[in-house]
Structure 1
Amino acid sequence: MKAIRGATTVAENSVEAIQEAVTELLDELEQRNQLQPTEIMSVTFSVTRDIDVIFPAAIARSRPLWDSVAMLDVQQMHVEGSLQHCIRFLIHAYLPTSTPIHHIYLRQAAKLRPDWSLPQTLQTQQQAVETKV
């Protein structure tokens, strides 16, 4: 089993903006990790307190084969000065231990984990340079 992290942001607290962001985030997750919903054991979505018009899990459940995935929505702990309008996920999936994991951080959420926001090839190159220094 592997854990995959990810996050994105929305410009506003609207159903349309959240649907667009969650769809983009999950599309990227599936594509970059070559992940099928049938391999996903569970998903926990967390949202900042300024997002309250729709549950991200409700959006995910409307995707093909996602309706049988165990999902939970929670409110992210508020920390003064932290990133606003943010949607995060923690996914547990059945994947071989040799499978590389690509954590997905999009839009303003890329600031949360700049090390995971880089394309994998650039990240690998950066690590090689740092090792030589």
Structure 2
Amino acid sequence: MLRANDLTPADLISVFLTVTPDLNAAFPAAFAREVGFEAVPLLCAVEIDVPGALERVLRVMIHCNTAKSAAEISHIYLHGAKALRRDIAQ
């Protein structure tokens, strides 16, 4: 996501991570710290457990400083998650 939007961890204000209830073996923020987000405020939450919702989904909302317009931002959806936002999935 950072590479696709020409960002570095220094550009980040905060990151909000959510997981579906079935993903409960580790904290996503712990991994984010391991890969370079040491100085970025991070928050994790569990998505609402809606019957029939897509499982095994990790969502990441990045708040950042950028000169790009909203239309220039690349929204990354991998594998089955593309079904969540076909209108903006790359």
Structure 2 length-normalised TM? 0.91
Alignment counterpart, residue 115 of structure 1, candidates 81, 87, 90? 87
Q: CA deviation at 1:78?
A: 1.3
1:104 & 1:98 partners in 2: Cα distance? 16
Structure 1: segments with no counterpart, 5+ residues: 1-28, 119-133
Q: Which residue of 2 aligns with 1:101?
A: 73
Q: Percent identity?
A: 36
Larger radius of gyration: 1
Q: Would the alpha carbon gap of residues 114 and 98 (structure 1) be closer, same or farther in structure 2, given more than 3 Å must change?
A: closer
Structure 1 vs Structure 2 CA RMSD: 1.3
Q: Which residue of 1 aligns with 2:50?
A: 79
Q: Which runs of 4+ in 1 moved over 2 A?
A: none
Alignment of 1:1-133 (within 5 A): 29-64=1-36, 66-98=37-69, 100-118=72-90
Structure 1 length-normalised TM? 0.63
| Pairs aligned (count) | 89
Structure 2: segments with no counterpart, 5+ residues: none
